[in-house]
Amino acid sequence: MFNMELANPQLLYLWIIIPLMLAWFIFYEKKIDVKVKLPGASIFHKNRDFLSKIRPGLLALRLIGLSLLIFALARPRTHELSEKTFGDEGIDIIMAMDISGSMKAEDFKPNRLEASKEVALKFIENRPNDRLGLVVYSGESFTQCPLTLDHSIVKNLLSEININMIKDQSTAIGMGLATGVTRLKDSKAKSKVIILLTDGVNNSGFISPATAAEIAKKFDIKVYTIGVGTFGKAPYPFQGQFGIQYQDIEVKIDEDILKQIANDTGGKYFRANTKNKLKTIYDEIDKMEKTELESIAYQRYEEKHFIFLLIGSLLLFIELFFRSIVLKGIYA
């Protein structure tokens, strides 16, 4: 943020010279007897008329020039207030997202997957100092985005996540968690976190959730687990004979496993039965995993007096030139 200030504002009291000079001109200028050393009365009157017209202009140049010089002596300058933030390294966070077929259910609008992506996007925007990465899983798992501080890449790759990325539409929670652990195990960050989101029951994969949680604990990785889905039944779209049709399917989330993963790794289990609840959960995780940062405020000054000094000097030079050279012998 920029502000103008004066380093020596007390010097502006010198501006009192300006009205004094103006008063001198008004009260005493008429008493000055202009002496013109040229023969001929007609020439005398012409010169006198010329002087009466040019004197106020020259006085104006002098007064403006002096005003600008005094202002330059007061040293006008701008200052920029800046804040430098520093501290410990940020947190490394992997968001592991379920993209199995059941994430198409529309108990969240427009559906579970798109609602989860929207909330995750806001979470990313609130973590400017952390490295973030993405893992997606259903029957298999892979890294959608490795850990990076370039959050524009994370957000772009998050937007590209869709249910058709993996052919196997089952749910391998252990695989998703294990892939997240792989991305974090060599991290040197002070805190390592996985946010594991799912809407179902582990029914696939060759690594069990318990085994993956044990590995995460070994590498000091904290896991927050989130179960998404309403209570009871949820509308699930499918392609019918006459277009998209809906079937209400019982929501089943393996909460015991998700709670065990969170407890074993020092994290916490959350249940999101609405989109707003999911937002609240991400906000809570955001508050729980804050990076401690310090900041120092400092000011940078930029001197602006030179332009006023230059213009003021130029005006005085012009006034002196006319008075001493052009009007020599006419203007005293």
Is the CB of residue 171 less than 8 Å from the CB of residue 138?
Answer: yes
Q: What's the token pair of residue 318?
A: 């012009």
Residue 142 — φ and ψ, nearest 5°? -155, 165
Q: For residues 215-241, give the mean pLDDT.
A: 94
Paired with 236 in beta bridges are 247
The whole-number pLDDT of residue 21 equals: 83
List, for residues 43-72, the tens digit of each pLDDT value.
Answer: 444 555 555 667 777 788 888 988 888 888
Q: At 175, which amino acid appears?
A: M
What structural domains and CATH numbers belong to the chain?
Answer: 2-80+298-326 (no CATH), 89-291 (3.40.50.410)
List, for residues 148-163, the tens digit of each pLDDT value. 999 999 999 999 999 9
The pTM for the full model equals 0.65
pLDDT by residue (tens digit) across 111-125?
A: 999 999 999 999 999
20 φ, ψ (degrees, to nearest 5): -65, -40
Integer Cα distance of 22 and 20 in angstroms: 5
